[in-house]
Chain A
Amino acid sequence: MRPKIARLGGVLAVGVALTVGLAACGSGDSGTASGGDGSAAPSTLKIGFMGDLSGENSGIVIPPSNGAQLAVDEYNATNPKVKIEMIKYDSRADATTAVSLAQKAIKDDKVVAMVGPAFSGESKQAVPVLEEGKIPNISASATNADLSKNGWKFWHRVVPNDGVQGPAVADFIAGTAGAKKVAVVDDKSEYGKGLGDAVRAQLKSKGVTMIDDALDPAAADYSSTVTKVAAAKPDALFFGGYYAAAGKLLKQLRDKGVTAKFFSADGSLDKGLVEGAGAAQAEGALIACPCRIPTEGETDETVKKFATDYKAKFGADPLIYATEGYDAMTAFTKAIAGGATTTDAINEAIGKSDFQGISKQVKFDPTGEPSAKSIYIYQVKDGKIGLLGDSATAKLG
């Protein structure tokens, strides 16, 4: 009996010590950054970054997080009166986690602004919390078209939504690529099906013949979809979904001798697509994105400089949404540099933003949508994803 009691005592002691320690930390923290009241000018403001930083789709969230960090570091390096500290919130793309993290950010960390949440699903749940806490937020990557229809006052995004992307891709497929018969496949997810349907509707209005199918992104065998497509011999195929499934599908299509042009959208814009499909099979695949990614043959000087700085700092190329993450954070740094320190003042200031960002002219309309709505087309060449151009003007080589 005795050892058990001793152990229990030990556990209790550790527990008490931890509680006291944490409480001490908590009280120590709250003094430094109570930016909300604005009574005394704070020396440091905290801005959050929320998204899937370690989960399955972290490949499209880490770059914007790095981009945002770069913007903060560059701002702090100018030695401003009010410095900014960025706090990362890893939601693992889970809506419940995102909600509790949003509450933590408001209550415990007292952030004055948030870049994110990164994805549309978590945004639906977590943005109302931020809205209630009056925390201005800018997403660098949530593209669901309905998000702007909620009447949120503190929500913004720096990417055009799926309602813009879908029709633009469809126009490109039917127009520039000249496809008369197109297979449209989606992964049944909120994102994939939404985008697939947008593409289907636009193709239909253009009088294109269509083949329809859907697949399970968790499965490995897509042979039934592939056989169906192979039998129909379409000119092009559009896949609405994420890169993991896109890679598997593309490989199995090419292995079965299907040569139709392969199109996908932002969810597939990741080197994981090339890895999953194999470089030979991925060659020539076309991927649309509302995002602007610096590529090797970059000609725009500001984008080039961003890519160099980013690589120097993080030792990796700026991938998807890195420029958007930077622009979203820059909107905040500009607001704070302009003297806004309260959440209301910051929200008002970013509402009036109008500056040339890395990805686009950053300017929001009253619903929080970006005013610039370009969709870019990328293409896989020699195992690398390169920019082809704006979907309205790009030409297929």
Chain B
Amino acid sequence: MLDNLLGSFWSFTIDGLIVGAIYGLVALGYTMVYGVLRLINFAHSEVFMIGTMAAAFVVMTMGITQPLTGLALVGGLLLMLLVGGAASAGSAMLLERIAYRPLRKRGASRLAALISAIGASLFLQELFALVVIPWLFDRPQQGRNQMGVARIMDKDPLFTIGGAQVRVDQLIIFVAAIAMMILLDLLVNKTKIGRGIRATSQDPETAVLMGVDIDKIVRVTFLVGGLMAGLAGALFVLQFEVTKFSIGFLLGIKAFTAAVLGGIGNLRGALLGGLFLGLIENYGAAVFGSGWKDVIAFTVLILVLMFRPTGILGESLQQARA
């Protein structure tokens, strides 16, 4: 039990941080939309799925048979991130335009928007399973099967920490995720549009009176949240080399959990919650067996919320300095 954790402590830690970084990136989308609209965007998990699909499509189109090296690899990775991010950002904005804005304009209750979100989530999953995957990947009748993605880079160990290997791809994922978070943090705190986002989340009515274009702010929020999910999707494909129409479901729940753990509406909280959840899951799995992974993750969520109902870093965009 415990000796298992202690024996491979660094290995569990590294793996936990990698998956936690992906949770954190996806959690940003949940947290930003919640901060601005007070809406849990349940279709965000499908925005992530679309990012993985776009990245997988890039890898397929490149026709990779051997792992790439050097400049070709850098180009390939950038292309994956770019296309994944663009596809997810675009679909997130489209989602906002079709599924949420009409409701918002008519002053529908937040519950209606929530149902709309769940509906959009199911719709997108089935759309991909039945139409998009068979057509895009030329896999007739196999839209529901898991798809393997070719290996784009050699996964060589780079260095070791306490006996645990750190691979190139893991380092790329971690560094990329943290860099994205820092950029986003700067965007929200230092730019004019960021000020608009913060103002809208504090008090939408006053923000309008002060000349903030709410529609634009909402669009930007979905764009940025979608972009982060798309980048997470591309990194996910790089790491796990699989995707599927329902890949977003479990990961989406975990990311949402991470957002709540960190304090929903709080950007830094999303990252912190993601990393925390990734670590707890892996440590728990080490001690109690991997079958208990999800049980442990959600037990911790409940415990945290019992003692800190607003999450680790407190509630929202406006309260924390983020």
Interface residues, chain A, with chain B CB atoms under 8 Å away = 54-56, 58-59, 62, 188, 212-216, 218-225, 227-228, 230-231, 244, 247-248, 251, 255-257, 272, 275-278
Besides A212-B289, A244-B244, 20 new A-B residue pairs in contact (Cβ under 8 A), listed by A number: A54-B141, A58-B142, A58-B144, A59-B142, A62-B141, A216-B250, A220-B251, A223-B11, A223-B12, A224-B290, A227-B11, A227-B286, A228-B8, A230-B8, A231-B7, A244-B146, A248-B242, A251-B241, A257-B165, A278-B148
Residues of chain B contacted by A276 (CB below 8 angstroms): 146, 148, 242
Name the residue of chain A whose CB is nearest to the CB of B155. A255
Q: Report the minimum CB–CB distance from B221 to chain A (whole Å).
A: 27
Residues of chain B contacted by A231 (CB below 8 angstroms): 4, 7-8, 11
Question: When the two chains form their complex, are residues B240 and A248 in contact, meaning their CB atoms are under 8 A apart?
Answer: yes
Given A56-B145, A255-B167, A276-B148, A224 and B242 contact (CB-CB distance below 8 Å): no
Question: When the two chains form their complex, are residues A275 and B289 in contact, meaning their CB atoms are under 8 A apart?
Answer: no
**Which one of A58, A227, A247 contacts B15 once the chains associate, using CB atoms below 8 Å?**
A227
**Which one of A216, A247, A251, A256 contacts B293 once the chains associate, using CB atoms below 8 Å?**
A216
Name the residue of chain B whose CB is nearest to the CB of A232. B4
Question: When the two chains form their complex, are residues A228 and B148 in contact, meaning their CB atoms are under 8 A apart?
Answer: no
Residues of chain A contacted by B165 (CB below 8 angstroms): 256-257
In the complex, A220 Cα to B15 Cα: how many Å?
A: 12
Residues of chain A contacted by B294 (CB below 8 angstroms): 216
Question: When the two chains form their complex, are residues A224 and B15 in contact, meaning their CB atoms are under 8 A apart?
Answer: yes
- 6 shortest A-B CB distances, which residue pairs? A214-B291, A223-B15, A224-B285, A275-B148, A244-B146, A227-B11
In the complex, A278 Cα to B150 Cα: how many Å?
A: 7
**Which one of B16, B236, B241 contacts A278 once the chains associate, using CB atoms below 8 Å?**
B241
Q: Report the minimum CB–CB distance from B165 to chain A (whole Å).
A: 8
Q: Report the minimum CB–CB distance from A159 to chain B (whole Å).
A: 23
Question: When the two chains form their complex, are residues A56 and B144 in contact, meaning their CB atoms are under 8 A apart?
Answer: yes
B151 interface contact, C-beta 8 A: yes
Question: When the two chains form their complex, are residues A213 and B141 in contact, meaning their CB atoms are under 8 A apart?
Answer: no
25 sample A-B contacts, Cβ–Cβ < 8 Å, listed by A number = A55-B144, A56-B145, A58-B141, A213-B290, A213-B291, A214-B289, A216-B291, A218-B246, A220-B247, A221-B19, A221-B240, A222-B290, A223-B11, A223-B15, A223-B19, A225-B285, A227-B15, A230-B11, A231-B11, A244-B145, A247-B242, A257-B165, A275-B147, A276-B148, A278-B148
Q: Report the minimum CB–CB distance from A102 to chain B (whole Å).
A: 23
- Residues of B226-263 contacting chain A, CB below 8 A: 236, 240-242, 244, 246-247, 249-251
Name the residue of chain B whose CB is nearest to the CB of A211. B4
Residues of chain A contacted by B236 (CB below 8 angstroms): 220
Q: Report the minimum CB–CB distance from A222 to chain B (whole Å).
A: 7
Residues of chain B contacted by A221 (CB below 8 angstroms): 15, 19, 240
Question: When the two chains form their complex, are residues B282 and A223 in contact, meaning their CB atoms are under 8 A apart?
Answer: yes
B96 interface contact, C-beta 8 A: no
In the complex, A272 Cα to B139 Cα: how many Å?
A: 13
Name the residue of chain A whose CB is nearest to the CB of B143. A54
> B12, B150, B242, B286 — which one has the most chain A CB atoms within 10 A of its CB?
B242
Residues of chain B contacted by A212 (CB below 8 angstroms): 289
Q: Report the minimum CB–CB distance from A54 to chain B (whole Å).
A: 7
Residues of chain A contacted by B281 (CB below 8 angstroms): 224
Question: When the two chains form their complex, are residues A219 and B250 in contact, meaning their CB atoms are under 8 A apart?
Answer: yes
Given A58-B141, A244-B146, A227 and B12 contact (CB-CB distance below 8 Å): yes
**Which one of B145, B247, B250 contacts A272 once the chains associate, using CB atoms below 8 Å?**
B145
Question: When the two chains form their complex, are residues A214 and B251 in contact, meaning their CB atoms are under 8 A apart?
Answer: no
In the complex, A257 Cα to B156 Cα: how many Å?
A: 10
Name the residue of chain B whose CB is nearest to the CB of A256. B165
Name the residue of chain B whose CB is nearest to the CB of A243. B146
In the complex, A99 Cα to B285 Cα: how many Å?
A: 38
Question: When the two chains form their complex, are residues A272 and B11 in contact, meaning their CB atoms are under 8 A apart?
Answer: no
Q: What 0/1 pattern do residues 201 to 212 of B give for CB contact below 8 A with A?
A: 000000000000
In the complex, A244 Cα to B246 Cα: how many Å?
A: 13
Question: When the two chains form their complex, are residues B291 and A215 in contact, meaning their CB atoms are under 8 A apart?
Answer: yes
Q: What 0/1 pattern do residues 285 to 303 of B give for CB contact below 8 A with A?
A: 1100111011000000000
Residues of chain B contacted by A213 (CB below 8 angstroms): 289-291
Given A221-B15, A224-B286, A227-B15, A247 and B4 contact (CB-CB distance below 8 Å): no
Q: What 0/1 pattern do residues 83 to 127 of B give for CB contact below 8 A with A?
A: 000000000000000000000000000000000000000000000
**Which one of A55, A227, A247, A248 contacts B8 once the chains associate, using CB atoms below 8 Å?**
A227
Question: When the two chains form their complex, are residues B249 and A218 in contact, meaning their CB atoms are under 8 A apart?
Answer: yes
Q: Report the minimum CB–CB distance from A99 to chain B (whole Å).
A: 22
In the complex, A311 Cα to B135 Cα: how many Å?
A: 24
In the complex, A244 Cα to B146 Cα: how many Å?
A: 6
Residues of chain B contacted by A251 (CB below 8 angstroms): 241
In the complex, A227 Cα to B287 Cα: how many Å?
A: 12
Q: Report the minimum CB–CB distance from A229 to chain B (whole Å).
A: 10
